[in-house]
Amino acid sequence: MGADDDDTQVLDATSDSTSEDTGELGLGASSDPSHALLSLRGVKSGYGSLPVLHGIDLDIEPGKTAVLLGLNGAGKTTTAMNIAGALKTWDGTITFDGQNATNWSARQAVNNGITLIPEGRRVFADLSVERNLLVGAWSNKGSGKFEEARERVFDYFPRLRERSSQLAGTLSGGEQQMLAVGRGLMSGPKLLIIDEASMGLAPVIVKDVFDIVSDISQDGVTVLLIEQNVGALDVADVGLVMEQGRIVARLEGEQLEDPTELRKMFLG
């Protein structure tokens, strides 16, 4: 899937001025992008001839947790898929860990340390918890590495250790989300992107999931949380708001201590 020449013409005809057009940085960019692990500049993308991203600028520094908030259809998943090599980038650049990551394949992205946990906590229902983790380790199978990574996952999610031989399809929704995150960790990512971790979970479970995300981040993994749940801001170092294929606000540091404005903006 991606843009051919005709698609690009449609994109150019329909997009407004972007950061790329004006030479100015867009609202998602950091004031000091030089140390960013992940940077997007002027990223445009979409499906077939339908433009969805209209020039995304975004920076995430190593070890930080960024939360990308937006309503249904804002383009959050499309952004995540561009970063993780699951969808073609039509224009602009993606830089990851000092390398040009624009249009990496999904395999290249994983091998270079980017893991996307897609929306809908897809686990292999007919496989045990342990086997699901083994599948997640496909790019990280050196001797002893599986056991080491599995133990780390079990330390984050003791419930998964207790249920290691249980079929994943028989876990609760919250446990399946934990397994999806755990499986993503098995490849030893530098950047973990979690698409709508909180969807359909009870508030108390959502809090558990966000708390564990915070632990993962403290251990040095950079995290991009894609969310409609403003509660995710509690674990954010950076909050980004997306609307109609554009980032319209970036908040960090003290601005997040009282994110009322951001919450208001996001909730309308």
Binding region for ligand ATP (CB under 6 A): 47, 50, 52, 70, 72-78, 119, 228
CB of 8 to ligand ATP, least distance (A): 17
Cβ closer to ligand ATP: 88 or 159? 88
CB of 127 to ligand ATP, least distance (A): 26
Decide if 190 contacts 110 (C-beta within 8 A).
no
CB of 3 to ligand ATP, least distance (A): 13
Nearest CA among 188, 192, 65, 201 for reference residue 121: 201
| DSSP assignment letter at 37 | S
CB of 228 to ligand ATP, least distance (A): 6
Cβ closer to ligand ATP: 60 or 68? 68
- For 51, the enclosing helix (H) or strand (E) is strand 50-60
CB of 17 to ligand ATP, least distance (A): 21
Cβ closer to ligand ATP: 229 or 255? 229
Cβ closer to ligand ATP: 137 or 223? 223
Rounded to 5 degrees, φ, ψ at 77 are -65, -40
Nearest CA among 58, 100, 64 for reference residue 80: 58
Burial of 76 (0-12, 13-18, 19+ CB in 10 A): buried
Cβ closer to ligand ATP: 163 or 246? 246
CA distance 74 to 81: 14
